[in-house]
Amino acid sequence: METTQTIQQLRLEPVEAPAIAALCGQLDEHLKLIEKRLDVTIQYRGENFNISGLDTDRVAATKMLLQNMYREALAQKDISAETIHLYLQESAIEALAKGKPEKDALVIKTRKAYIKPKGKNQQNYVKQIRKHDINFGIGPAGTGKTYLAVACAVEALEADKVERIMLVRPAVEAGEKLGFLPGDLTQKIDPYLRPLYDALYEMLGFELVDKLIEKNVIEIAPLAFMRGRTLNNSFIILDESQNTTREQMKMFLTRIGFGSTAVITGDRTQIDLPRGTSSGLAHAMHVLDNVNGISMTQFASADVVRHPLVQRIVEAYDKFDEEQEVEKKERALEREKAKAAEKVEANR
């Protein structure tokens, strides 16, 4: 049986050799990554590209992907492997395959970086944060929920929409006891907030972040220390909220004052609370689902923007959990049938 290859041609304009080199990557590493992920073949000479493959949608998606990446190369003069992974995100590729143009309008502007949310869920997440006072970002690791929350916080601070940024996190260890941590309050909570710090450093720079922390413009606080406070004109991020209790979540949400925005991020599959303690995030999602003025954005494995293996790992765990749930229900049904049979036997 013969298979027909689809071939599409692409000419990159305006022609700029440095941008074409950035698009292709050193020794064509970027093009090889695209070929591997999308199962296509890319050949080029100068600004003229030939894209071929067995799947028409993938060939079309590759063409649009190269056009989008070239625009980025023209603007930034460089493209990193991370950027390629973002563009190769499953949800973005699906949109490209359907011929949907990339929406360049939604950009988060910070001092050192312009952040473009990728895919429908990330774009919707940022729109909701800009629109609502309280926002939930729920989903697996690597979907950008914390990173985008920090980006929105920095953008709001630089635009003078808020007076300070508050980073809050429950001090719950991820399945291991770390013992006593030395230093003052900030130093004790630092290890738990490292992902937030990394994002701040990337967007503002090391020196400025340190100065803002000294001036309390950026404040770090463990969740337990939030009781009794009212936070006005602040951008508050509660990270790893799946490790809050019901009481802690209610306490945090009732701290929000005038002119403030709160973003609560979490992953319900990574709860590290003691056995028998219910998660405040899961409870809040149920209680606040239809409350006006609160947004909830649900991320899925297709939204993962880290290494492609992370997406596959998330999907594998989700599939395993689903199978375990089905087996659990089947065992419960078998027990009920056995009990019913015993009753019938006893009544004879």
Per-residue pLDDT of the chain (348 residues; tens, 9 = 90+): 456 788 999 999 998 999 999 999 889 989 998 888 888 999 999 999 999 998 888 888 899 889 888 988 888 777 877 777 767 765 456 555 555 555 455 888 888 877 888 778 888 999 999 999 999 999 887 788 999 999 999 999 999 999 999 998 887 644 444 455 556 555 666 666 777 888 888 899 889 999 999 999 998 888 878 887 888 999 999 998 999 999 999 999 998 889 999 999 999 888 888 888 889 999 999 999 888 889 999 988 767 766 566 667 767 877 787 888 888 888 888 888 888 888 777 776
One domain for residues 157 and 216: yes
One domain for residues 35 and 177: no
One domain for residues 84 and 229: no
Domain annotation covers residue 103: no
One domain for residues 187 and 241: yes
Tell me what pLDDT residue 343 has: 78
Tell me what pLDDT residue 121 has: 86
Q: Tokens for 213?
A: 């922390």
Tally of structural domains, the chain = 3
One domain for residues 79 and 182: no
Alpha carbon distance 153, 140 (integer Å): 21
Tell me what pLDDT residue 95 has: 57
Task: Give me the sign of the Cα torsion angle 197, 198, 203, 209.
Answer: positive
Domain annotation covers residue 263: yes
Angle at 105 between CA 100 and CA 111, to 5 degrees: 135
What 45-48 contacts at long range (C-beta under 8 Å, 24+ apart), as own/partner pairs, is: 46/15, 46/20, 47/11, 47/12, 47/13, 47/15, 47/20, 48/9, 48/10, 48/11
One domain for residues 22 and 84: yes
Domain annotation covers residue 308: no
Boundary-marking domain end, from 97, 125, 144: 97
Domain annotation covers residue 344: yes
One domain for residues 149 and 15: no
CATH code of the domain containing 171: 3.40.50.300
Edge-to-edge, what's the strand order for the sheet holding 134-138? 218-222, 164-169, 234-238, 261-266, 134-138, 294-298
Domain annotation covers residue 75: yes
Domain annotation covers residue 1: no
One domain for residues 121 and 234: yes
Boundary-marking domain end, from 76, 97, 118: 97
Edge-to-edge, what's the strand order for the sheet holding 6-11? 6-11, 48-53, 41-45
CATH code of the domain containing 48: 3.30.1370.10
One domain for residues 245 and 339: no
Q: Give the CB-side neighbour count of residue 26, counting CA atoms within 13 A.
A: 2
Q: Is the pTM of this model over 0.75?
A: no
Domain annotation covers residue 296: yes
Q: Tokens for 202?
A: 């990337």
What residues contact 11, with CB distance under 8 A and at least 6 apart?
47, 48, 49
> What range defines the domain where residue 223 resides?
108-303
Domain annotation covers residue 102: no
One domain for residues 195 and 341: no
Q: Tokens for 319?
A: 């599939």
One domain for residues 185 and 48: no
Boundary-marking domain end, from 303, 321, 339: 303
In terms of Cα–Cα distance, which of 247, 282, 235, 239 is closest to 264? 239
Q: Tokens for 56?
A: 């028409």
One domain for residues 165 and 291: yes
Q: Output phi, psi for 178, to 5 deg.
A: -95, -10
